[in-house]
Amino acid sequence: MRRKLVAGNWKMNGSLAANAALVAGIKEGLAAQACDVAVCVPAPYLAQVQALVAGSPVGLGAQDMSAHASGAYTGEVSASMLQEFGVQYVILGHSERRAYHGESDAAVAAKTVAALKAGLVPLVCVGETLEQREAGQTNAVVGGQLDVVLAALSAEEAARIVVAYEPVWAIGTGKTATPEMAQEVHAMLRARLGAKSAEAAAKVCILYGGSMKPDNAQQLLAMGDIDGGLIGGAALKAADFLAIINAAA
């Protein structure tokens, strides 16, 4: 019922030449897809990748945005600027931004509101650290991160977000949550969405992210509440990204 989404998070990687080769490889290998596909690229490459994906099933995403509409916010990029470059998705609250840029739950919530107002689909990232998991705090931390965002949204808006569960200890480490571990958290997140609205629980895609690779994607994506993936390292190689897309389709 929910169409799966596989989104690549390129992080701070790429060059004009590497992007052209990567997108060409993805487009070449894409069959008629039964899932949605997107690439979330560094801001300076939005115009380039907008042109590269034009007319293809590959959607365009950004990796962050400001909660403000315009003004004296040096270095920031607004939702309407992203929109002008054909951006459909924006990653918000990635654990790297929370850790290195001090992004709070409240900031992520404000950005989510601004993204939705501009017609963008926010990919709202939540996830626990290893210490928090080992202390038995996973549901409280991850559920709490989502609750702050949901509290800022109407029921109708809540149904238009995408959630990405990304355990911090699994990002870029080669350690993946088992399908059962991930499913347990995804089911908890869906219940939180359900407390906001039945429509949100039914409609919202909950992606898994954290060392998803061609060899573990199928088992993860087979779980009932895992509706796709947010892919870091494996999104930088067309063959690996395509293998994950095929596992989702």
In this chain, which residue has its C-beta nearest to ligand PEP? 232
**Hey, what are 125's tokens?**
């990232």
Cβ atoms of 212 and 231 closer than 8 Å = yes
Residue closer to ligand PEP, measured from CB, 119 or 172: 172
Give the phi and the psi of residue 161 in degrees, each rounded to 5. Answer: -95, 165
Could you tell me how far CA 124 lies from the centroid of its own chain?
6
Q: How far apart are the first and last CA of the chain?
A: 13
Of 152-191, binders to ligand PEP (CB under 6 A) are: 166, 171-172
- Segment interacting with ligand PEP, rule: CB under 6 A, options 30-38, 81-89, 217-225, 232-240: 232-240
Smallest distance, Å, CB 38 to ligand PEP?
Answer: 13
CA dihedral 185, 188, 189, 195 (to 10 degrees): 180
Distance CA 38, CA 50 (A): 11
Give the one residue of 61, 93, 143, 209 binding ligand PEP; rule: CB under 6 A.
Answer: 209
Q: Does 240 bind ligand PEP (CB under 6 A)?
A: no
Is 94 in the active site? Answer: yes
Q: Would the annotation count 232 as a binding residue?
A: yes
Q: Rule CB under 6 A: is residue 63 a binding residue for ligand PEP?
A: no
Which residues in the chain belong to E strands, given as ranges? Answer: 5-9, 36-40, 58-62, 89-92, 121-126, 162-165, 206-209, 228-231
127 annotated ligand-binding residue: no
- Integer Cα distance of 19 and 94 in angstroms: 22
**Residue 136, marked binder:** no
Residue of 161, 227, 232, 244 interacting with ligand PEP (CB under 6 A): 232
Is 166 considered catalytic here? yes
Nearer to ligand PEP, 93 or 210 (CB): 210
Instruction: Say whether 224 counts as a known binding-site residue.
Output: no
Using CB under 6 A as the criterion, which residues of the chain lie in contact with ligand PEP when the complex forms?
9, 166, 171-172, 209-212, 230-234
Which residues carry a binding-site annotation for substrate? 9-11, 172, 211, 232-233
Enumerate the active-site residues.
94, 166
